[in-house]
Structure 1
Amino acid sequence: MIWKKEHLSAEAKQAPSLISHLITNIEELHSHTNHKDAKRIGIVGGGPKGMYALERLLHTVQQEAYEEPIHVIWFNENPHFGSGNNYSVYQPDDLLINYCIGNIDGWLRDDINEQVREQLSLRDWIAKYQTTDSEVTPTDFASRGLVGFYLQDIFMQLQSSLPQQVTISLIVAAVQDVSYTNQFKISLANTDDTLLVDYLLLATGHCYENVPPFKITGDTAPFEYMASAYPVNRLDVLPKGQSVAVMGLGLTFIDICLQLTEGRGGVFNELGEYIPSGEEPVIYPFSRSNLPIQPRGPIYGDSRYAVRAYTKQVLQTLVDERSDRKIDFQQEVLPIINEEIQFAYYSTLLETSSEEKVKQYINGLLADEIFSIDQLLFPVMKSLGDRHQSTKAYLDESIKRAEEGELHHPYMAATAVWRELTPQIGELYNFGGFTAESHQYLDKQLWSACCRTSFGPPIANMKKISALAEAGIIQFTIPPQSQISYDTDKQNFEIGTEEEQYTVSFLIDGRIARSEIVRKNSPLYDRLLERGLIEIFENGTYQPGCIAIKQDGRTTAKIDNQEIPLFFYGTPTEGILFDNDSLSRVRNNLASPWADRILQLIDTHDTYAQQER
């Protein structure tokens, strides 16, 4: 079952309207006198991470019986507080989350916020508010818009259970600049007014911009190039019938294709065939490898591959050692992962859990016959003579593998290993735990392949991509490793190799931009760097391109040798922390230490002020 917004009751969809009545503006904020003596805490970023941080702050205030007034000012560039852009309730229902609903819980279960009366997981929330007769199971999927309603409902619960001494103001505006002298001065877009806060958390999500993958004339990329596909309604300007290239074959590529087809009135019939509306462009996807992302079925409970205890123990030994030395990912970790991948593959193939039988079988194979991490991450696509048909056949085979599942198909069992070991890999990776060279190798050589292999979309959406390819809407014709150039006279793109070139009218960058501060791909973070409020993280000779933070998410930068109360959470920490891009409350949870540290700083400041008096 795929749960959509249409399956929810009206009561479940009230949050956006209620939130809109909470939004204020700078003028109203300046006119309020009841916030005058309160400590001001700014949160920039209205997505799940910003809300998780807010929830932890409210919980910690209650837990510590803190009595002094606190005023939280929450900034977001649009009214989607709680959901953010990724889970906006206004996006179409064909855009799905890529893991089943049983894995999503907006509440932290190991440290319960007792002030909130009802704390439902996504599954339980859907069960409460759904209007169908269908059973809600943890292996169901849901649209991202539905998840947005769930997240915004959580925010309204927080709002309705605020501690008496805490007030919240919602400001819809993009933060353009931040400076600091005893307080942070926040400059917003489209106004000369500024706001002052005492403490600041940036949970800005995907705030980075892709650098154009072609040479541009002047400072501005051409209109025909879209550096991002989000929000997806920006794709509506693309004319029907025109050729549109999409760089990247990951999750964003799927969103683009569905918005340009279903989003324009096309439908998939009961047989899974695509019936065009006539409003579609022709889509030409490509990437460095041209390998489509591997879909997956519902991963939950007993339906997931279980990594051997031995493998986890060996990795834990390395985790224990990393406080004394750097770990070499290539030499020490990769062989462990590869060994588990081989066991997963062959134990599933042979339908046995006997390590001895698996070992005997592998020993009977020639070296080049043994399945390994290289075949998993960098498979060779079978050539059928025609690139489009070869890619579609590969895609269809990947769907069949996913339908069998990781307990029955050897390849899918192997894909599960990386996913299941990600938390331990993160413990080794975080805060520069790997050697510089192996850290760079993981970031630059393996990570995108791991995402393509182990963190794919639901099967239902990949079947739609196959149907679009069958209908000719998607054309897998551009070769891998293609170069891109823009013709300023013809206002189109040439994409291809020396032997093979294709001309297209538009280019959409379907890659998710990562932090590259050195390349100046985020105006806000550029200014923070210029003002000395952040530093670039360095792991020896390697710079991942992200900010440097301490264990509680605080910037490592100082002014006059004094700590700056500037903190980061979520995507901005990618590169120093591993695998942040999820709804998880526990993975890389900087919200809890941030809340603890904020109250410590306030107490320290208040004590110092009293001594001064």
Structure 2
Amino acid sequence: MERLLARYAAEADAGRDARNATAPRRPLHIHLVDPFPPGPGHVWRTEQSRLYLMNTQAFFPTLIPDQGVAAAPLAGCSFNQWREAMRATPDHTLSGGDRTELAALAATGFPSRALYGRYLSWCFARLLEKLPDGVQVTLHAGEAKRVARDHERGGYGVELLNGETLRADSVVLALGHVESRLSPAQRELRDEARSHGLTYLPPAVPNDVDWDQLPAGETVLVRGMGLNFFDVLGQLTEGRGGRFEATGRGPGDALRYLAGGREPVIVGASRRGTPYRAKAELASYYPAGVALRFLCEEAVTRIRDMGATAGFDHDIWPLLHRDALWAYYTTLARTRPDAVSPGFLPALDALLHSGAGTDARDWAEQLKSLEGSHMAAGLALDLPALARPLQRHPLRPGGSHRFGSQEELDAAVLAYLSDDAAGSARGEDDPVKMAIGALNAGRAVIKSLVADRGITQESWLGELRGWFEGFVEGLASGPPALRMEQLAALVRAGVVHFAGPDPVFRIQHGIFSASSPWVADEPWQARHLVEALAPANRIQGTASRLLNNLQADGLVRPRVMLASDGGPVVTSGLDVSAPPYRPLDGAGLPVEGLYVLGLQLSSVQWGTAIAAQANAEYRSGYRTVLDADAIAADILA
């Protein structure tokens, strides 16, 4: 809507200048259809708990573009500009909770989702105040169930659940997160849980869940230790009257938890066995001291020139791996000069630039030899160990299990949490966090390459999605460092335990159990299981009436890619044309006047859930704004 208004106003001004008159222009009527308030929508509702935090700092997100578009915005600003304005002159729409949060929120702080929703509401209201002449906006607080071609008059009929049908020349599918059906395994677990009177909470938007159904004092298994895991923790601890207080002991042991008395016993489980690593405490989204020297503009241009023949493992990862190595070792040499010999960095630099034409295994051996001869033992960068910290530990002598008891596992995870929180506090002075910072910056470059269709389908499926996506998300998409300190305090207080890596969940003897092959102890047992995951973003398997009807009517279809063995793979998103993204119909033809924006582009873009970034360093940081701008231009043309 913002791009439609901006372009409409700019084109009207240009037309008046060309005619030197005020001739009327064809009117623009925008219908917004959403069962939730426009702006916050479903995820950013303003009444939700303030324990639900954003995963980006206040300086990061913006709804209003600040680069890359020709038509200037009519109203609004970035979230951080709004934060500063509201602190100086609070708007009458702010709640008491908003004002309290704003008073304590710095640019580097992590806002609540409720406060970000308030910003989105404010932007929407400002846009409505600035509607250009000839524009009308009508809100429909409901759900669309079908979009059908109007063969008599052209355009479309948009059918709403209340029976109303809207006439439209163009339709934009900006659906965001929609409901999904459970997987067969999840349905089986749910049905069996019901038959035994157990509580099974499937993947959901956390604010939609009634957390009171999980009783105090009982064991609760939580599957998944990504971002939703911390949402669950917050509701079952602070949300029940517990609180954290400072210990004065510094990063890694900065907090103690004072129980409220209504907490359950929480058991976290994931394939890694540990939560995602926390974000470093930085003044910018990417570390100021990290520059991509290998996955740089020249290299990206070379990869783009290859067309859709580049492979991630062959052409992209070796460059990004070198950037991560350089970020780690330059930080290590700067912060611990006693641990690295004086000749190491020049020798490393030469090796990193010698990759072309070198056998990968031979190059890796040269790197290992260089690391072994120039630095203190135990300091070499091991990226797989960062991603799977528990499994990379040596085997226990004489046994097949890494951990002899649940207590031993909890102690190992606590050490990991404390170490990671301390690393986050060091920020630019932590070598591990700077290596991760390089990976995160490289991810922004890769997003643009993917959107420009710069890698092969088999590489997308088997390499980028096959291993790198999960690897980099576990390192670079983690929670604020505060969450790691809080979790460590909860472990020390005996509120949270862990199941171990590669957990197996089943119902045995009428009760849930969770066991790990890495832990030689009895399985955890509980009457309650929470899936700490967002609903799956897949076109096939969606519970959205609209998406299912669009597929049934042949107006959209999921994208199918070819794997390395030549077999077809149905991917998560829609099959679409080049920008402005139009869905391809059942015959493979672009559907004129129908557009797709956001999450349902997950088969042609990588990382579609992230907000637009204010003052973005990389084009992928404002890709969604560019997509919206291209759609608006096509509609008005």
Alpha-carbon distance between aligned partners in 2 of 1:493 and 1:280, rounded to the nearest angstrom:
19
- Match of 1:100, as an amino acid? Q
> Could you tell me how far 1:158 is from its partner in structure 2?
0.3
Say which SS state the counterpart of residue 575 (structure 2) adopts: coil
Q: Which amino acid counterpart does residue 580 of structure 1 have in structure 2?
A: T
**Aligned residue for 1:590?**
627
The aligned counterpart of 1:436 is 457
Q: How does 1:337-356 map to 2 (within 5 A)?
A: 337-351=320-334, 355-356=345-346
Task: Please say if 1:286 is aligned against 2:286.
Answer: no
Partner of residue 201 from structure 2, selected from 202, 226, 235: 226
Contact 1:103 1:300 in 2 (8 A): no
* Paired position in structure 2 for 1:392: 414
CA displacement at 1:179 relative to structure 2: 3.0
Change (3 A) 1:371 1:128: same
User: CA separation in 2, counterparts of 1:590 and 1:572?
Assistant: 13
Q: Tell me the CA shift for residue 255 of structure 1.
A: 0.9
Alpha-carbon offset, residue 217 of structure 1: 5.0
Moved more, 355-364 or 411-420: 355-364
Aligned AA for 2:278? P
Corresponding residue for 1:549? 576
CA change 1:206–1:291 in 2 (3 A) is same
Over residues 360-391 of structure 1, what are the superposed CA-to-partner deviations in whole Å (9 max), with x where a residue is unaligned?
89553349985254334333455675111211
Give 1:545 deviation, angstroms.
2.3
Q: Does 1:579 align with 2:598?
A: no
Which structure 2 residues correspond to residues 441-590 of structure 1 after superposition, within 5 A? Answer: 441-476=463-498, 478-486=499-507, 490=510, 492-496=511-515, 500-520=522-542, 522-541=544-563, 542-550=569-577, 551-557=579-585, 563-584=591-612, 586-588=622-624, 589-590=626-627
Give TM-score scaled by structure 1 length.
0.80
CA distance in 1, matches of 2:416, 2:327: 22
1:410–1:213 CA distance, 2 compared to 1 (3 A) = farther
In the aligned structure 2, how far is the partner of 1:398 from the partner of 1:259?
23
Q: Could you tell me how far 1:485 is from its partner in structure 2?
A: 2.7
Q: Which residue of 2 aligns with 1:364?
A: 370
Identity of aligned residues (%): 23
After superposition, the C-alpha distances for 1:22-58 in whole angstroms (9 at most, x for unaligned) are xxxxxxxxxxxxxxxxxxxxxxxxxxxxxxxx10011
Q: Give yes or no for contact 1:123–1:136 (8 Å, CA) kept in 2.
A: no
Q: Tell me how far 1:521 sits from its aligned partner.
A: 5.7
Equivalent-residue separation in structure 1 for 2:44 and 2:537 (angstroms):
21
Corresponding residue to 2:279 among 285, 289, 296: 296
Q: Secondary structure at the match of 1:507?
A: strand
2:120 aligned partner: 151
Unpaired stretches in structure 2, ≥5 consecutive residues: 16-24, 88-98, 248-254, 352-366, 394-401, 564-568, 614-621
Q: Is the 8 A contact 2:584 2:590 kept in 1?
A: no
CA contact (8 A) 1:229 1:256 kept: no
Q: Contact between 1:327 and 1:428, CA under 8 Å: does it hold in 2?
A: no
- Describe the SS at the equivalent of 1:538: strand
Inter-partner Cα distance in structure 2 for 1:338 and 1:376? 14
1:241 aligned partner: 217
* TM-score using structure 2 length: 0.77
Matched, 1:374 2:378: no
C-alpha change, 1:58 and 1:562, in structure 2 (3 Å) is: same
The residue that corresponds to 2:4 in the other structure is 57
Aligned in 2, Cα 1:337/1:115: closer, same or farther, shift over 3 Å? closer
Amino acid at match of 2:57: C
Secondary structure at the aligned position of 1:563 is classed as coil
Number of equivalenced pairs: 539
Whole-angstrom CA distance in 2 between matches of 1:207 and 1:165: 33
User: Contact (CA 8 Å) 2:49, 2:114: kept in 1 or not?
Assistant: yes
- Once the two structures are TM-superposed, the CA of residue 142 in structure 1 deviates from its matched residue by 2.0
Q: Could you say if the C-alpha distance between residues 475 and 562 of structure 1 is closer, same or farther in structure 2, counting changes exceeding 3 Å?
A: closer
**CA-to-partner distance for each residue in 1:501-553, whole Å, 9 max, x for gaps?**
33222222222344333445655423321211112213333443211112212
The alpha carbon displacement at 1:167 in A equals 1.3
What one-letter code is carried by the residue in structure 2 that aligns with 1:252?
A: N
Change (3 A) 1:560 1:315: closer
Report the CA distance between 1:497 and its aligned residue.
Answer: 5.0
Q: CA RMSD in A?
A: 3.1
**SS state at 1:344 partner:** helix
For residues 63-82 of structure 1, the aligned pairs below 5 Å read 63-65=10-12, 67-79=25-37, 81-82=38-39
Question: 1:379 & 1:517 partners in 2: Cα distance?
Answer: 34
Moved more, 55-64 or 226-235: 226-235
The one-letter amino acid of 2:388's match is F
Distance, in Å, in 2 between the alignment partners of 1:95 and 1:178 is: 34
Is 1:207–2:178 an aligned residue pair? yes
